[in-house]
Each structure stands twice: as structure tokens, then as C-alpha cells.
Amino acid sequence: MNSPSRLVLITLSTILSLTLHAQQSLSDSINAIGAAAQGHVGVFMQDLESGDSTTFNDLDHYPMQSVFKFPSRSASWTQVDKGRLSLTTPIDIRKSEWARMFSPLLNKYKKEHFTLTLEEVLAPTVGSSDNVGCDLLFHLVGGPEVVNTYIHQLGVTDISIVYTEMGMAADWNNQYSNWCRPSAMGRAAPALL
């Protein structure tokens, strides 16, 4: 074997060894985080420039909890793009319907009954993880099943959206019906943002 070929082989072997070491180190770090949190951790990471990705515990179904606010917001934006809604679409709100729901948005208003526009509800839904805002968006587009269908039509099927925030608050176990695989949310993210 001539010297340049040997050098290329040694270089490739070194790169592969470093890559495997980095992956093992990353895997060990994720395991340590999960152990410290006393939880089961799933991860999807992607280099946005190269498109390379890696996953960790990606085959499991993880409850999305507030992560499903991104699909609800995106489904609303899609309805605006299609002309079915507008950013000025009014949303009638009665605070009494939302007792005990986390909502920085509603806490800003003293009135019991008022109207906001879709535009006023969109930003705090994701920016402040506003539960009422999320449910208002679900109601506006036709419910969780419409958002679930929307996500699946994007080609991402390892996501399930069944319950609203209020539906999850009604029964602790309902949150497990709203699930995704980490890679599924990663694949959906570019379309949702």
C-alpha cells in the first residue's frame, strides 16, 4: 500500500473513531440528564446546514404537553394563508369558561367578557405557553382532530393530537394520548415555524 492511501485510511479511521466517541459521549450525557431528572429522555438533533441528524430513544411515544402548541399555531396560520381566517378574525372570550387554566394572556384583561383578534392570541400561545390561547386556536380551526390531520398531511405520522389543554387538565392520563416521537417533531418543525 502506498503512503497516500495509507494516510487516507488512517485519517478516515481517526474521523470514524472520533465520531463514534462523540456519539457515545453525547449518549452518555443524555443518559445522565435523564437519570438526574428521573425520567426517560428522547432526543432528535439536526444540523440545519448539512441536514445530518441523530436520535436517542426515538422509538418511544413521548407526551407532548405544551409542544403541541406549535402545531395548533401552525394550523391557524395555514388557515390564514388559505383565506379561511384572517389575523383580524375576532375571538369571543368569557374568562369564566377558563377557570384554573394557565393564561398570561387572559390575566392581562380585567373584563369578564371581551374579544381579541387571532393575531392577539397567536404570539402568547407559543411565546408564553398560554393554555387558553392554545385551546382558542384549536376551537377556531375545528379541534384537535383537524390539527392532527394537518400534521399527518405534512407527511409526519408519528404524532398524535387528541386532546386540548382543557382535555388534558380534565384527566392526567389524557396527556399520553397527545404524543410524538422526537424525530417526528423534528421533521415537522420546519413546516410549523
- Write out the residue range of the structural domain in which residue 159 sits: 63-192
Is there a single domain that holds both residue 46 and residue 73? no
Is there a single domain that holds both residue 102 and residue 183? yes
165 as an active site residue: the answer is yes
The tens digit of pLDDT for each residue in 45-58 reads: 888 788 888 888 88
pTM of the model: 0.79
Which of the residues 74, 103, 165, 183 is marked catalytic? Answer: 165
Q: Which residue among 15, 36, 59 closes a domain?
A: 59
pLDDT at 94: 94
Is there a single domain that holds both residue 77 and residue 125? yes
Which of the residues 66, 128, 129, 177 is marked catalytic? Answer: 66
Is there a single domain that holds both residue 46 and residue 110? no
More confident residue, 35 or 104: 104
Q: How confident is the model at residue 38 (pLDDT cuts 50, 70, 90)?
A: confident
Is there a single domain that holds both residue 52 and residue 75? no
The tens digit of pLDDT for each residue in 169-193 reads: 999 999 999 999 999 988 887 766 6
Does 7 have pLDDT greater than 70?
A: no
State the average pLDDT over residues 161-174.
96
72 as an active site residue: the answer is no
* Number of domains comprising the chain: 2
State the average pLDDT over residues 25-44.
78
Task: Specify whether the CB–CB gap between 124 and 104 falls below 8 A.
Answer: yes
Is there a single domain that holds both residue 48 and residue 87? no
Is there a single domain that holds both residue 33 and residue 94? no
pLDDT at 22: 60
State the average pLDDT over residues 133-138.
96
pLDDT at 193: 64
Is there a single domain that holds both residue 53 and residue 118? no
pLDDT at 11: 40
